[in-house]
Chains A and B, each alone.
Chain A
Amino acid sequence: MSFDIPEDRQYLESHEWAEETDGVVRVGITDFAQDELGDVVFVELPDEGDAVTQEEEFGVIESIKAVSDLYAPVSGEVASINEELFDAPELVNDDPFGEGWMLEIDPDDASELDALLTADEYEDQIA
């Protein structure tokens, strides 16, 4: 089975993606991760203004069959969250790299992104 791995963003080994646009880092989980989880039924996210730390938990995602922690790709402040997921968590399954995004972080130090995996490196990891 092949999975989408867009090259315009970076990845964590724990299957989150990070995409920097105009100094803000948008975060979600990968196509591979949503497929592994199955039907997503619940997403627990931090509040706007909360601080998050690179590689530490920022929330929880639950599918019918499993619970997983979500990890932050960079440290910083939560600039916004995708509130649509509270009513439509299935967006994570339907469009993990688009409508299923989870939060945006105003990073303390955007260079932290350099430590993440490239699309090719992530592809090797899930191969």
Chain B
Amino acid sequence: MPLQTPPLRGIHDDRGAKFTEFGGWDMPVEFDSIRTEHEAVRTDVGKFDVSHMGQIHVTGPDATTLMQRLTSNDVTRLDVGDSQYATITNEDGNIIDDTVVYRLPDGDGERSAGSAGGGDPTYLFVPNAGTDEATHERWITHRNEWDLDATVDNRTDEYAMFAVQGPEAPDLVDRVVDDSVTDLNRFEARYATIGETTCWTARTGYTGEDGFELIVPWSEAEAIWSMLDCQPCGLGARDTLRIEAGLLLAGQDFDVESNPRTPYEAGIGFTVDLETEFVGRDALARVREEGIEEELVGFALIDRGVPRHGYDITTTESRVVGTVTSGTMSPTLERPIGLGYVPIEYADPGTTLQVVVRGQSKKARVEPIPFIDTV
């Protein structure tokens, strides 16, 4: 199957980016160096093309009911312009995907600033790369099964998405929008005009830093990307940034096929509202009552080496108790860090474990996540 290409593929190529396949997309992994890009985001500001993220639009009289039944959090808490982190779970309560749900202006079927006023509740949510088609199908199937009146559109190919992240990101975004957006709190969003284009401008992101995510029409993507005068960053830096912040990577830290995990095991139980009715709710209520047996922990290698996805985690007696789901050399901390699931008796910070790096046991210590202070 041919790779999907982001709208700025050529621009990134001209800028000297290296590319990688991610979720079926041909995405920039590195522009200058992961370390340079990572540091820009931690200390200044960087921009990411995250157009590979899905964009599903849900509107209609029953849009709220549909969203409520298919995501784990309580969407009725969202006022227009709010967003929330949520999971999409199966009947067993295992995470199929994690997502951010935005509530757009009511009746905003065409997703434009002019339509804010009355009408049906309208949501936009952002599935992970490569999952948009399956997610769209899931929404349609359940809508039909439950006979709900809602329109579900997959608009992944219509909108680009840029993340502008770092302590200086608010100033940079404020300079390019017509009206200030710095009054937005974390997880708040609204339409803002950049150049002549209306963009959904949200104070969200996936780096642990302050910043914004801009959802812009593909046709205007190049112009808006160019206006954001800062370090371009690839998926490599996004990966190191999110591990430091203890944020999950779909397909590694959870994978409904190869590594099924509940939100409680994954450390994101806060995305679950058991007062709402959703697919997986009953299973999660049982887990909540009975407790979990394994938990995602952060760890640092004490010995020299770099933990990588798939490496065994063992006790100090070399008994295998888990697997590394994500690992890297932390550019900020300059230490090798990682994430992995272990039985809860080994999950307390300070616990000594081992990671098997190419056949050699390396001492590791469980550490609290996030590894660094985040917003």
Q: Decide if A and B are genuine partners.
A: yes
A interface, CB within 8 angstroms of B: 1, 38-39, 41-42, 60, 62, 64-65, 67, 86, 93
Contacts of A62 in B (CB 8 A): 306, 329
What sequence of 0s and 1s flags, for each residue 1-40 of chain B, a beta carbon within 8 Å of any chain A beta carbon?
0000000000000001000000000000110011100000
Which of B30, B236, B329, B358 is within 8 Å of A41, CB to CB? B329
Asked if B304 and A42 sit within 8 Å, CB to CB, the answer is yes
Asked if A65 and B305 sit within 8 Å, CB to CB, the answer is no
Asked if A38 and B30 sit within 8 Å, CB to CB, the answer is yes
B260 on the A face (CB < 8 A): no
The chain A residue with its CB closest to the CB of B29 is: A65
Asked if B240 and A64 sit within 8 Å, CB to CB, the answer is yes
- Given A39-B33, A42-B329, are A64 and B236 neighbors across the interface (CB < 8 Å)? yes
Q: How far is the CB of A8 from chain B (nearest CB, A)?
A: 28
Asked if B331 and A64 sit within 8 Å, CB to CB, the answer is yes
Contacts of A60 in B (CB 8 A): 358
Q: How far is the CA of A67 from the CA of B329 in the complex (A)?
A: 12
- Given A38-B33, A39-B33, are A67 and B236 neighbors across the interface (CB < 8 Å)? no
Listed from nearest, the 3 A-B pairs whose CB atoms lie closest are: A41-B329, A39-B35, A64-B34
B354 on the A face (CB < 8 A): no
- Given A38-B34, A41-B306, are A64 and B328 neighbors across the interface (CB < 8 Å)? yes
Contacts of A38 in B (CB 8 A): 30, 33-34, 236
Which of A1, A39, A67, A93 is within 8 Å of B308, CB to CB? A67
Q: How far is the CB of B132 from chain A (nearest CB, A)?
A: 25
- Given A38-B33, A38-B34, A39-B34, are A64 and B308 neighbors across the interface (CB < 8 Å)? no
* Other A-B pairs, 4, CB within 8 Å; known A42-B304, A67-B306, A93-B33: A41-B306, A62-B306, A64-B35, A64-B329
What sequence of 0s and 1s flags, for each residue 332-369 of chain B, a beta carbon within 8 Å of any chain A beta carbon?
00001000000000000000000000100000000000
The chain A residue with its CB closest to the CB of B328 is: A64
Chain B, 28-76, CB within 8 A of any chain A CB: 29-30, 33-35
The chain A residue with its CB closest to the CB of B33 is: A39
- A-B contacts at CB below 8 angstroms, number: 35
The chain A residue with its CB closest to the CB of B235 is: A65
B interface, CB within 8 angstroms of A: 16, 29-30, 33-35, 236, 239-240, 304-306, 308, 328-329, 331, 336, 358
Can you name 22 A-B pairs with beta carbons within 8 Å?
Answer: A1-B16, A38-B30, A38-B34, A38-B236, A39-B33, A39-B34, A39-B35, A39-B331, A42-B304, A42-B329, A62-B306, A64-B34, A64-B236, A64-B328, A64-B329, A64-B331, A65-B34, A65-B236, A67-B306, A67-B308, A86-B304, A93-B33
Q: How far is the CB of B305 from chain A (nearest CB, A)?
A: 7
Contacts of A93 in B (CB 8 A): 33
Contacts of B30 in A (CB 8 A): 38, 65
Q: How far is the CA of A60 from the CA of B336 in the complex (A)?
A: 16
Q: How far is the CB of B158 from chain A (nearest CB, A)?
A: 31
Q: How far is the CB of A68 from chain B (nearest CB, A)?
A: 12
Residue of B29, B33, B305 most packed against chain A (CB within 10 A): B33
Contacts of B35 in A (CB 8 A): 39, 64
Contacts of B236 in A (CB 8 A): 38, 64-65
Contacts of B306 in A (CB 8 A): 41-42, 62, 67
Asked if A42 and B305 sit within 8 Å, CB to CB, the answer is yes
Q: How far is the CB of B103 from chain A (nearest CB, A)?
A: 36
